[in-house]
Amino acid sequence: MPHPDVEAEAETLAETAYAKVNVALHVRRRRDDGYHALESLFAFAEDGDRIAGEATDDGAIDLIIDGPFGAALDAGPDNLVLRAARGLQAYLGEQRGAAIRLTKALPVASGIGGGSADAAATLRLLVRLWDVRIDAGELAALALDLGSDVPACVGSVTQLVMGRGETLARHPVAGLEGLPMLLVNPGVAVSTARVFSAWDGLDRGALVADSLDSLTRYGRNDLEGAAIAIAPVVAEVLDALKEREALLLARMSGSGATCFALFETAAARAVAARSVKAERPDWWIMETRIRRA
């Protein structure tokens, strides 16, 4: 037994904030509330940022940020991790606080849901850390208040996402989950708001996501053109990926600038990664897989 004068060490728990990719992203129209009506198939990488934390008794929410891209973020009150933690704390009337560490492995403002995934992982972490019960619908509502992608990131499973992000449906696609994936970012941060503002407004049709073949043949990212106009290097990334052997699909994710490539085998992905690194050592690259539920 520990000595009564020795304070027990606080338990540290952790969650992965899985990187998100839009396998396809169809923008149908601009809604009356200013948001865009989207149809998208979200999938998630096996890897991402890391959120770790310990419960505290003083009610304070403290955040430390480290990792390769940590310097690009501010730990101030507008940080999505802090907003998620304080929002959940207030909703639950929770008296305990938390000391949270965000290890930022994903580029910032890069179209792979980094901030949204961090917020979602924070919600998952604190539900466990505080050992509280909350209805899935209530958690989804809290998540949507934080951002359109956050509800999908809470589950981090392959799903159809409609509207501005409020309509979700688990949607496994045969042959997709577990596929080797390469993520490539050219080191350019792209503003989501600016890309949506530059969208050409054309409705090119509904998303068909009944098979991997449909997604590759008929799926699109309707924001690619706008992102390339703002950051032409996105086209260079896509060109670099589309020439690789055993490639199934190469497309931009979200509003950019990160692009992803799906491969038939891990060996083909590794060859592509080595080639891209040799050609563009200044680009960020992650070798991963589509996460299985």
From first to last of the 293 residues of the chain, give the pLDDT tens digit: 444 444 446 799 999 999 999 999 999 999 989 889 999 999 999 999 999 999 999 999 999 999 999 999 999 999 999 999 999 999 999 999 999 999 999 999 999 999 999 999 999 999 999 999 999 999 999 999 999 999 999 999 999 999 999 999 999 999 999 999 999 999 999 999 999 999 999 999 999 999 999 999 999 999 999 999 999 999 999 999 998 999 999 999 999 999 999 999 999 999 999 999 999 999 999 999 999 97
- Between strands 97-103 and 36-56, the pairing is antiparallel
Pseudo-torsion of CA 85, 88, 91, 96, nearest 10°? -70
- Report d(CA 128, CA 91) in Å as an integer: 16
Structural domains in the chain, CATH included, are 12-170 (3.30.230.10), 180-289 (3.30.70.890)
Catalytic residue among 49, 118, 149, 222: 149
Catalytic residue among 20, 47, 49, 104: 20
Intra-chain end-to-end CA distance of the chain, in Å: 40
- Report d(CA 140, CA 212) in Å as an integer: 28
Lookup: tokens for 101:
């560490």
Lookup: tokens for 12:
């540290």
| Catalytic-residue membership of 104 | no
Amino acid at 203: D
- Report d(CA 136, CA 141) in Å as an integer: 9
| Catalytic-residue membership of 20 | yes
